[in-house]
Amino acid sequence: MKKRPLGLSKLEVSVVGLGCNNFGILDLETSRKVVDRALTQGITLFDTADIYGNRGGSEAQLGEILGARRKNIVLATKFGMAMDDATDTARASRGYIMAAVEASLKRLRTDYIDLYQLHTPDPKTPMEETLRALDDLVKQGKVRAIGCSNLPAAGIRDAAAISARNGLASFVTAQDEYSLVMRDAERDLLPEIAARKMSLLPFFPLASGLLTGKYQKDRAIPEGTRYARGTRFSDRYMNDENWAIVERLRAFCDARGRTLLELAFAWLLSHPSLASVIAGATRPDQIEMNVRAAAWELTPDEAAEVDRLSAKG
């Protein structure tokens, strides 16, 4: 398994990461099998959040499963989304962060978090207050590096200026949606990330399954899949424009004896600012498929052709 640095931090991560959003929803033994397979396949980045698994369940399962193996991975979690039903909480304030990190450390059964990420912007809290709190956690050794998620390019730029002006720890990663059918990040976000020498951690890299190849246009959605459980993702991704892209990409893969899943990983990893493709799994065999997919390295000409085939408008 190849590794890449997380921005300007001292952390390195496997180019395939494990998204742990299913933990806490899956039963403990199923989650354990997924984690065990990820570790044996060389995955070192485990990405979770306090809200995952019905508010705390993912962190709790991960902490129980990892045990002494925690030291072998880069453990990433997030704060800032609602852990209760209150509507007026400032979830990036100093007081909130200090309480949230202690709760995550307890659930994860660890005394430090490798990458602590602001999950979503908080308009109630000045960014300087957030960054000063996170800087204190870094100085205390409870957090090794910090990142953000869902922060627009202008927000990343402003945060970097605040950190530089005040000598504070700065965001080394940005976690945002990016895939072959969702390329909006290329307009402003990716150039800003590159300029700051940060790393992108894409979420929904497989468009919630559309890019795995298991769905076919005008065919019934397979039972037990994410799209079959509700319309949130199918409404978002299953449209005529995306289907046209998928069919063009499928032909590109067929001509090379490759799969759509392999292309989804290979294209993302062709971007130098991208550190790791974080993909969830509900079964151990999905881990192996993801790891195999990441082995394909596109040539510059192939990457350019895929850019053309997946372009919208």
| Cβ-based neighbours of 231, under 8 Å, separated by 6 or more | none
Longest dimension (CA), the chain: 56
Q: How many domains are there within the chain?
A: 1
For 19, phi then psi, to 5°, come to -80, 125
Domain with residue 157: its CATH number is 3.20.20.100
Task: Yes or no: say if 135 and 93 are a contact pair by the CB < 8 Å rule.
Answer: no
Is 297 buried (19+), middle (13-18) or exposed (0-12) by CB count in 10 A? exposed
Cα separations in angstroms, 95 against 45, 70, 99, 143, 178: 28, 27, 6, 16, 32
pLDDT value at residue 221: 59
> Mean pLDDT by 10-residue block, N- to C-terminus, for the chain (313 residues)?
96 98 96 98 98 97 97 98 91 98 98 98 97 98 98 98 98 98 97 97 93 72 56 72 95 97 97 96 95 95 97 88
The residue range of the domain holding 49 is: 3-309
Residue of 294, 295, 192, 274 whose CA lies nearest to 6:
274
Q: What is the pTM of this model?
A: 0.94
Distance between CA atoms of 225 and 179, rounded to whole angstroms?
19
178 is catalytic: no
pLDDT value at residue 313: 76
Distance between CA atoms of 172 and 166, rounded to whole angstroms?
16
State the CB neighbour count (10 A cutoff) for residue 246. 24
pLDDT value at residue 225: 56
Residue of 139, 202, 133 whose CA lies nearest to 173:
202
Selected catalytic residue, list 52, 96, 116, 227: 52
